[in-house]
Structure 1
Amino acid sequence: MLYYLFEYLDKILNVSGAGVFQYITFRSALAFLLSLLLSTVFGKRIINFLRNQQVGETVRELGLAGQNEKAGTPTMGGLIIIFATLVPVMLFAKLHNIYIVLLIVTTLWMGTIGFIDDYIKIFKKDKEGLKGIFKVFGQVGLGLIVGTVLYFSPNVTVRTDTGKNDIFRVTTENVISQSPVEEKSTATTIPFFKNNEFDYAELLAWTGEGYEKWAWLIFIPVVIFIITAVSNGANLTDGIDGLAAGTSAISVLALGIFTFLSGNIIFSNYLNIMYIPNSGEMTVFIAAFVGSLIGFLWYNSYPASVFMGDTGSLTIGGIIAVLAIAVRKELLIPLLCGVFLVENFSVVLQVAYFKYTKKRFGEGKRVFLMAPLHHHYQKKGYHESKIVTRFWIVAIMLAILSIVTLKLR
């Protein structure tokens, strides 16, 4: 909202200095600082409120060192992340931007699903929480909304011919070509390949002429799958103090770099990557989101004063998925969110192998001492702070490698 106020002050009243709000970098910096301030200052008040409401974690008997001490620790801390993200976004972002609207919807949608799950666990005393089928319905519903908007909205376009030598007109950091060739497209980026744009519509080329108009039959299911997979991956990663918040902040920061570059035609022209008009505005949201995650870590680092619960983990996964899809980097998710992928895979492998060996030999066997993977290392005797730090290091390496794909192809 402050963006519109300063736009009025600049363009109508010609107030000196008001034009600085036109810069994405300036508004992103303000969003980050305010988000960090809100999550650290008001985070303590939210934690005290949750504690007074007896919103405490119920710990299952997993035989892990230090697990029983976590009983009663306030959960639903994802409310801190949501609050500290949305307030700066409402103040500093362009609220009419289609990508910002989608991200706000994603935050509220996934936050609501997670909140209902936590509410059932805590107040209804049902350790299973919201039934898995309803979670999936919620994730599919969000995928339908995001996929439909990205495919059909006239405000979502791309430009892949950024390598041409056009003359550009510069308006702050939102650079517009004098002769833009923007189009509706389901193109995405394949990492590590030269001329690496791939259009989902090509999968229907065998159907004959006019196949492009049916591309939504491929694109929307892909969006649904990615949102469901990443949100569940973030949910499984939230198992020990600081793991999900820290690894997510690293991944989102890398996505912020992709977003800023893809939304600026000069940088996208130089790097020969897809230019996505108006996507640079997501940098403001990302800055606020990273600030909230770092602020949340102030209280979630070992020993945690609060857990994010599904309110936070499902929201984090949903936001990361939508960001990656919007900036056409969803095929980078297995690399960028490698920690989520491994955590997911460890559970799938553990369950599949146990069922297979039980059916084959009459006795179930396990690949890991416990799944997800972070619990395996806990069982091996590693302290959880060491596990978290090492997972962060791995996440940083994966984020750097993901950024390197801008030139490594």
Structure 2
Amino acid sequence: MLYNLLYPLSEYISIFNVFKYITFRTAYAILTSLALSLYLGPVVIEKLRSLQLSQKTKGYEPETHKAKEGTPTMGGIFIILSAAISTILWADLKNPYVWIILFAFAGTGMIGFYDDYIKTVKKNPEGISPKLKFTLQLVIAIIVAFSVIYADRGANSTKLTFPFFKNLIVDLSYFYAVLAVFIIVGASNAVNLTDGLDGLATMPSVIAFGTFIIFAYVAGNVKFANYLQIIYVPGAGELAIFCGSLVGAGLGFLWFNAYPASVFMGDVGSLSLGAALGTVAVIVKQEIVLAIVGGLFVIETVSVILQVGFFKATKGKRLFRMAPIHHHFELKGWQEPKIIVRFWIVSLVLALIALSTLKLR
């Protein structure tokens, strides 16, 4: 909004020329969302506490999680508010990708809000049925996938690139929409599965969005895209501002979510973060790189799949002590802060590997 209002004035007042720079607006989007998150945090937490919207265990978590009962949940509300307001303030609102990503972000957030509502207000720890949740996610992902393809309208809109290879590009045609839907829904659920310890999903999300600031910026810059031999996506640079907004909002949320947490993000936060991450990857044509950047989320998801598959195949035996895998380490005796920090380190290493794909081709 500030870009649309103030940049045109640069013709008369030169200082407003800074608004044309994505780097400038991304930096201030980070600071704006961070400030909003830090301001809204205590307000939202107190409101959640007064409404008794608190964490409820399902009964099969490690024993240590019983102590977390009563901690306010649905804190993802102020992540969404902070990031959305900051994005609207600093992004070019004429860019269709801005509205597509905000739709994916807010839409899945509403699904998570409804799920959290059932868990807290209706006192059903299981939330809405998996079938209904998946169906709603699918509807939003389909709308987003076709919106991205329509907004691009270029020869590259259905192409899939492979990191570490210069010329390995596959045009999936109509099947690309299926892949895009899978990525968006998969990423949404993967972050949701990871959100099981204080700050465990928050910091890896911040790292992932911080990494995609760079991917979005170079994908939207024709010179950098050609130099780095990646697909040029006109307008994708504006997503750097959205990613920056989530970096700031995530850091602000972590202030309250760090161990021992004063608030949990709930499904309203985790589902929306994952869907937004998947949507950004689809728009900037770095779908496979997402599996590297978000490798921790992939590991958590795969651990659940392996656990269920092994349990069924062996008729009752378990591959891990508990899944997702962070619970396995809890039951092995690792202290929660140690698990969290080590998983953060893994996320950071994976982000560096993902960034290396820009040059190692």
Of stretches 41-50 and 109-118 in structure 1, the one that deviates more from structure 2 is 41-50
Corresponding residue to 1:194 among 159, 166, 173: 166
Which of 21, 24, 49 is residue 23 of structure 1 equivalent to? 21
- Structure 2 CA distance for aligned equivalents of residues 313 and 32 of structure 1: 19
2 CA distance for matches of 1:268 and 1:262? 5
CA contact (8 A) 2:104 2:141 kept: no
Cα deviations by residue, 1:368-389 (Å, 9 ceiling, x for unpaired): 0110000000000101111010
Residue 386 of structure 1 is matched in structure 2 by: 338
- One-letter amino acid matched to 1:379: L
The SS at the match of 2:170 is: strand
Distance in 2 between residues matched to 1:384 and 1:62, nearest whole Å: 17
Distance in 1, Cα, partners of 2:294 & 2:200: 13
| Aligned position for 1:99 | 97
Tell me the residue number matched to 2:149.
151
Deviations 1:269-288 (A, max 9, x none): 22122111111011111110
Equivalent pair of 2:58/2:126 in contact (CA under 8 Å): no
Please say if 1:229 is aligned against 2:186.
Answer: yes
**Contact 1:157-1:276 within 8 A present in 2 as well:** no
2:67 to 66, 69, 72: 69
CA distance in 1, matches of 2:216, 2:327: 34
CA RMSD after TM alignment: 1.3
Partner SS state of residue 138, structure 2: helix
Which residue does the alignment assign to 1:205? none
1:198 is paired with a residue whose SS is: strand
Equivalence for 1:402: 354
Structure 1 residue 240, shift from structure 2 partner: 0.3
The change in CA–CA distance for 1:271 and 1:79 in structure 2 (over 3 A counts) is same
AA of the residue aligned to 1:73: T
Q: Which whole-Å deviations, capped at 9, do the CAs of 1:95-129 have from their partners, x for residues lacking one? A: 12111011110111000000000000001111110
Name the aligned partner's letter for residue 279 of structure 1. Answer: A
Cα gap change, 1:354 to 1:41, in 2 (>3 Å): same
- 2:281 counterpart of 1:324: yes
Aligned to 1:311: 268
TM-score (norm 1): 0.86
The 1-side partners of 2:208 and 2:52 are apart by 33
1:175-190 aligned within 5 A:
183=155, 185-190=157-162
Match of 1:188, SS?
strand
1:63 shift after superposition: 6.0
Amino acid of the structure 2 residue aligned with 1:7: Y
- The alpha carbon displacement at 1:184 in A equals 5.3
Number of aligned pairs? Answer: 361
On the 8 A contact 1:28/1:287 being kept in 2, the answer is yes
Whether the 8 Å CA contact 1:65–1:378 is kept in 2: the answer is no
Q: Percent identity?
A: 44
Structure 2: give runs of 5+ residues left out of the alignment.
none
Contact persistence 1:114–1:309 (CA under 8 A): yes
Alpha carbons 2:4, 2:93 under 8 Å: kept: no
1:8-32 deviation line (CA, Å, top 9, x unaligned): 3224xx1230111111111111110
Aligned residue number for residue 351 of structure 1: 308
Amino acid at match of 1:199: D
User: One-letter code of the match for 2:200?
Assistant: L
Q: Distance in 1 between matches of 2:354 and 2:90?
A: 28
Q: Which amino acid aligns with 2:257?
A: N
User: Structure 2 CA distance, aligned partners of 1:71 and 1:285?
Assistant: 33
The CA deviation string for residues 59-79 of structure 1, in whole angstroms up to 9 with x for no partner, is 233463531221100000110
- The 3-state SS of whatever aligns with 1:110 is helix
The aligned counterpart of 1:287 is 244
Report the structure, 1 or 2, having the larger helix content.
2
Matched with 1:204 is none
Distance of 2:219 and 2:352 partners within structure 1: 17
Q: What are the Cα deviations for residues 283-308 of structure 1, in whole angstroms up to 9, with x where unaligned?
A: 11111011101111000000000000
Letter in 1 for 2:8: Y
Give secondary structure in 2 for the equivalent of 1:66.
helix
Separation in 2 of the partners of 1:114 and 1:384?
A: 25
SS at match of 1:17: helix
SS of 2:140's partner is helix
Give the greater-gyration-radius structure (CA): 1
Are positions 1:296 and 2:253 aligned together? yes
Question: Counterpart of 2:7?
Answer: 7
Q: Distance in 2 between matches of 1:67 and 1:278?
A: 45
1:131 aligns with one of 129, 132, 142: 129
Corresponding residue SS for 2:133: helix
